[in-house]
Chains A and B, each alone.
Chain A
């Protein structure tokens, strides 16, 4: 195996193992060296498929190199470098080990050439990322991690079922564009969309990411959803349904982000909003739209990590993440504020920053296809991004009401990581050509910086800001959380449990009372004195029917006494015996 076909995932997995034997200083170097090496390896890969192996009689390939997988490989490793620079202070081995395996698996999924390898890496990602939530070690994080892994198991099982049906139907494990619209492909699509946080399976993201550790949250933002974006580009480019899904996500993310109070939850919803843009681009499916989706994913990973870093730095220094507790932090964290604002402006696609050279490609591709509704929704969503991520996040965290917090700047390595990513945001905004060069779907015919386009965008953004500040009283932060689709399994699950408890325990109780208590009691009383009871019952019937009552209790007492002592007149017994025998004779012989 030469350098040109060495799998980048291998580097990450080897790093995750090596981590357990190295001392702290070695670990610090290792976590930076691993993504740097992987980045170099990816740059050396020649197009083709490598690393084949046999499983279940199928020829599988772990390494498919083309421009699409390389583009995602570059940004995954570049971002990993920034994230691990930010995480230099962490001493625990297991969080780094989980992160390295998680990123390695994400790269594995991106480079996998067949559905089975893809599925294996997909599940490794789900499991290892759960540890980044668990590492927070709070009760809430444990709950969120449990729900997170359950949601991903659901998605994974849909994917697995789809893959098995697909392989059975077509006889091929190859992972290329799906053409047939049927149960297998829909199941695969659902599996991918669960990881992309498409509604209604979106709540795992805003539930789990904000509960993850400071560094875990930053790392998770990039890989799960963007691997899903990659697989959707590969498998479902041009599927119309994705335009609907994408537009829904773009708007959904904004509305929920505006309702939220927790800064990391605001940013979690803005991931959903941004992934919505990408998925919409995949649904449009033209070369320009797909290039736009890849470019936007690239830019998004970087500025989203930057935003999460600035939020993470605030959380690290203050221990608080709710907007109602924060505010006025520009006084003692000016650098963090500047980096966070660069990320916030980049996500809003402010001119000279990376969002501006990527996102409008998707919108323009929609315009080329004369998709009026797509254009309208995405323009509204563009204005909304500035509202919730561009202004709301920095305003309520760094400005607004001073809550008396004076934390100071985070450690130097965190500032360095933020500076690096902020530089990339500006670089791609000013000089996007290197990014355009690695885009997989043909040459880019898109010019972001025309006077008219820039002017339109600035008008859109600045008047959105005007709306924000004019309606500020309506946006007052409240100490609340917002119900999302996780209500179904968090509250709904409990309600279902209670409903079952009421219904089935009710039936159980009734059956217990009737069959286990009442009936045996009645039967026991009857069989205690069967003869006497029959007589008494017959006597009572006779009394009721005839209306003659001459000392009922006296008669019943006599019956009781007789049956208890067995003192019946002999003639009575003989009469009964004769009657019984004649009855039997009548029944048998006649």
Chain B
């Protein structure tokens, strides 16, 4: 009996490429309406910029990743750290 073919969709580079293109399209589609909508602001007029939340999310994540990377230099230790004397 022939074995059932394994699910390996992500192993194919062309699929990953398609996924990437789809992802970029989604990003563009999400920012696009901002140019036409009237946006409410909470604290500052900056929030009305088109794509403010996109920029906010991106910058916040870059900062978080960089900060944790810095923390990691001090805080990351070998797995047997607590077992060693």
Q: Mark A292-315, 1 if CB is under 8 A from B, else 0.
A: 000000000000000000000000
In the complex, A455→B30 CA distance in Å?
Answer: 7
Cβ of A367 < 8 Å from any Cβ of B?
yes
B67/A491 in contact, CB under 8 A: no
A463/B57 in contact, CB under 8 A: yes
In the complex, A383→B64 CA distance in Å?
Answer: 9
In the complex, A229→B23 CA distance in Å?
Answer: 38
Which residues on the B side are within 8 Å of A254 (C-beta)?
64, 68
Residues A300-345 near B (CB distance < 8 A): 330-332, 334
In the complex, A387→B64 CA distance in Å?
Answer: 9
Give the distance to chain B from A520, nearest Cβ to Cβ, in Å: 37
A458/B30 in contact, CB under 8 A: yes
Cβ of B37 < 8 Å from any Cβ of A?
yes
Residues A447-491 near B (CB distance < 8 A): 451-452, 455-468, 471, 474-475, 478-484, 490-491
Residues A231-256 near B (CB distance < 8 A): 254-256
In the complex, A507→B39 CA distance in Å?
Answer: 73
Residues B20-54 near A (CB distance < 8 A): 23, 26-27, 30-31, 33-34, 37, 39-40, 42-43, 51-54
Interface of B is mostly: helix
Give the distance to chain A from B79, nearest Cβ to Cβ, in Å: 5
Given A460-B54, A460-B56, A463-B55, the answer on whether A375 and B78 have CB atoms closer than 8 Å is: no
Among A259, A452, A460, A466, the residue within 8 A (CB) of B76 is: A259
Given A452-B39, A458-B30, A482-B76, the answer on whether A468 and B67 have CB atoms closer than 8 Å is: no
Give the distance to chain B from A326, nearest Cβ to Cβ, in Å: 15
Interface of A is mostly: helix
Cβ of A361 < 8 Å from any Cβ of B?
no
Query: What total of chain A residues lie within 8 Å of the partner, measured CB to CB?
Result: 49
A491/B82 in contact, CB under 8 A: yes
In the complex, A466→B33 CA distance in Å?
Answer: 19
Cβ of A372 < 8 Å from any Cβ of B?
yes
Which residue on A lies nearest to B78, using beta carbons?
A: A480
A380/B79 in contact, CB under 8 A: no
Cβ of A399 < 8 Å from any Cβ of B?
yes
B58/A467 in contact, CB under 8 A: yes
Residues A132-176 near B (CB distance < 8 A): none
A467/B78 in contact, CB under 8 A: no
B75/A259 in contact, CB under 8 A: yes
In the complex, A402→B77 CA distance in Å?
Answer: 25
Which residues on the B side are within 8 Å of A456 (C-beta)?
52-53
What is the number of contacts between chain A and chain B, taking CB atoms within 8 Å? 135
In the complex, A464→B71 CA distance in Å?
Answer: 20
Cβ of A556 < 8 Å from any Cβ of B?
no
Which residues on the A side are within 8 Å of B76 (C-beta)?
259, 478, 480-483
Residues A361-382 near B (CB distance < 8 A): 367, 370, 372, 375, 379-380
Which residues on the B side are within 8 Å of A332 (C-beta)?
6-7
Give the distance to chain B from A370, nearest Cβ to Cβ, in Å: 8
In the complex, A383→B55 CA distance in Å?
Answer: 11
Give the distance to chain B from A7, nearest Cβ to Cβ, in Å: 42
Which residues on the A side are within 8 Å of B75 (C-beta)?
256, 259, 482-484
In the complex, A209→B31 CA distance in Å?
Answer: 40
Cβ of A258 < 8 Å from any Cβ of B?
yes
Which residues on the B side are within 8 Å of A471 (C-beta)?
61-62, 65
Given A463-B27, A467-B62, the answer on whether A455 and B34 have CB atoms closer than 8 Å is: yes
Among A330, A459, A474, A491, the residue within 8 A (CB) of B54 is: A459
Which residues on the B side are within 8 Å of A483 (C-beta)?
74-77, 81
Query: What total of chain B residues lie within 8 Å of the partner, measured CB to CB?
Result: 46
A464/B60 in contact, CB under 8 A: yes
In the complex, A370→B7 CA distance in Å?
Answer: 51
Which residues on the A side are within 8 Å of B10 (C-beta)?
330, 399
A480/B57 in contact, CB under 8 A: no
Which residues on the B side are within 8 Å of A399 (C-beta)?
10
In the complex, A457→B55 CA distance in Å?
Answer: 12
Cβ of B72 < 8 Å from any Cβ of A?
yes
Given A474-B69, A491-B82, the answer on whether A455 and B33 have CB atoms closer than 8 Å is: yes
In the complex, A266→B8 CA distance in Å?
Answer: 26
Cβ of A384 < 8 Å from any Cβ of B?
yes
B30/A380 in contact, CB under 8 A: no
Which residues on the A side are within 8 Å of B60 (C-beta)?
379-380, 383-384, 464
In the complex, A474→B70 CA distance in Å?
Answer: 11
A selection of 24 A-B contacts at a CB cut-off of 8 Å is A255-B71, A258-B68, A375-B42, A379-B56, A383-B60, A452-B37, A455-B33, A458-B30, A459-B31, A459-B51, A462-B54, A463-B53, A463-B55, A464-B57, A464-B60, A464-B61, A465-B23, A466-B58, A467-B57, A474-B66, A481-B77, A481-B78, A482-B75, A483-B74
Residue positions of B touching A, CB distance < 8 A: 6-8, 10-11, 23, 26-27, 30-31, 33-34, 37, 39-40, 42-43, 51-58, 60-69, 71-72, 74-79, 81-82, 85
Q: A459-B34, A466-B58 are in contact. List 13 more A-B contacts (CB 8 A).
A: A254-B64, A255-B68, A256-B75, A330-B10, A331-B6, A367-B42, A384-B60, A399-B10, A459-B57, A462-B54, A463-B61, A464-B58, A465-B23
10 nearest CB pairs, A to B: A467-B61, A460-B57, A459-B54, A459-B53, A463-B58, A463-B57, A480-B76, A258-B68, A456-B53, A383-B60
